[in-house]
Amino acid sequence: MAQGSLAGRVALVTGASRGIGAGIAEELARCGSAVIVNFRRDAEAAFEVVGRIESAGGRAAAIQASVAVPADVDRLAREAPAIFGPIDILIANAGIASRGLSVAETDPEELERVVATHALSVHRLAHLLLAQMRAQRRGDIVVISSSELDHMRANGAPYNMAKAALEALALTLAKEEVRNGIHVNIVAPGLVSTDMGSRLVKAKLGVEDIAQLNERQPLGRVCTAHDVATVVRFLCTEDAGYVTGQRIVVDGGAEPWPTG
Ligand SMILES: NC(=O)c1ccc[n+]([C@@H]2O[C@H](COP(=O)([O-])OP(=O)(O)OC[C@H]3O[C@@H](n4cnc5c(N)ncnc54)[C@H](OP(=O)(O)O)[C@@H]3O)[C@@H](O)[C@H]2O)c1
């Protein structure tokens, strides 16, 4: 297999209808992987991602399933391998922001929803897919966390707790599965220009257009989905054949942004 190629592999990317997940789906497909594009609500956006991959000569299919709903996760784990064959790359990307409230103000149901979306779903999905991943020449699980976890900011308990649980799962799984040829790694972006990133800077900094923050970044621009996707792709290739149990921060050297 050519260096950097993902030919013959089958990836499932959760939350791939837009943002970082869409970027990862397109990048994995560009390198030869067939890709299952999971989405929750926005079918039109998901089919656009599939269309772009197919137009570029790749293979992709979309599956609706909310990862926050255990029955949907079970169905996703059944339906995904039935399309292009066993899944050997799982990208756990689906995520939602929390509402930015203190613990005193947070409805416990919000906590449950955020933790279920980011973390419990990934345990469930991995549990269901590990047997087929073990049977392949190689397996990869990459979880999309956040550099926010390094700051544990006030008013972020649901998100901080969810990403902490996700990283704990990934690092544990890396040790459990290394002898089965399954690599498990964490990619932790800083601020990324997506719908979520744009909503965040509007709410926290009053910034209407995220591009206004370009010149404040050490590299002169806000991170894009593609910047994250190329790191994820690298981790899944033989170029990263001796890498597992690692956490890569993709924040362009940015300082933590102001709290408040
Ligand atoms: N943007 C940032 O600044 C940033 C920074 C660090 C980490 N991250 C992390 O990166 C990941 C992607 O974020 P993003 O910025 O790309 O977010 P986004 O632009 O809001 O896109 C979120 C994606 O996740 C999907 N999704 C949400 N809930 C889902 C569920 N229950 N089941 C299945 N899919 C679901 C959405 O599907 P629908 O379109 O169908 O709703 C959409 O495709 C998240 O885990 C986030 O925490 C983001």
Residues with CB under 6 A from ligand 1: 14-21, 38-42, 45, 66-68, 93-96, 117, 144, 146, 189, 191-192, 194-197
Paired tokens of 7: 């030919």
At residue 3, the pLDDT reads 73
Domains annotated on the chain, with CATH: 10-191+225-250 (3.40.50.720)
Contact 86, 132 (CB under 8 A): yes
Paired tokens of 77: 């784990």
Query: Distance between CA atoms of 168 and 173, rounded to whole angstroms?
Result: 8
- Return the ligand 1 atom nearest residue 18 CA: 43
Q: In the chain, what is the straight-line distance between the N-terminal and C-terminal CA atoms, in Å?
A: 50
At residue 260, the pLDDT reads 46
Query: Distance between CA atoms of 26 and 75, rounded to whole angstroms?
Result: 23
Cα pseudo-dihedral 38, 40, 44, 45, rounded to 10: -70
| Residue owning tokens 């269309």 | 51
Name the closest-CA residue to atom 44, ligand 1: 95
- Return the ligand 1 atom nearest residue 20 CA: 16
Query: Distance between CA atoms of 57 and 59, rounded to whole angstroms?
Result: 7
| Alpha helices for the chain (secondary structure H) | 19-30, 43-55, 70-79, 81-84, 108-115, 121-134, 157-177, 195-205, 225-236
242 part of the active site: no
Query: Distance between CA atoms of 242 and 83, rounded to whole angstroms?
Result: 30
For a mutational test of ligand 1's pocket, the pick from 13, 14, 18, 38, i.e. the residue with the most ligand atoms closer than 8 A to its C-beta, is 18
Paired tokens of 76: 């996703």
Starting at the earlier edge strand, list the strands of the sheet with 60-64: 60-64, 34-39, 10-13, 89-92, 139-144, 182-189, 247-250
Paired tokens of 68: 């926050």
Mean pLDDT in order along the chain per 10 residues (260 residues): 88 98 98 98 98 98 98 98 98 97 98 98 98 98 98 97 98 98 98 97 95 96 98 98 98 77
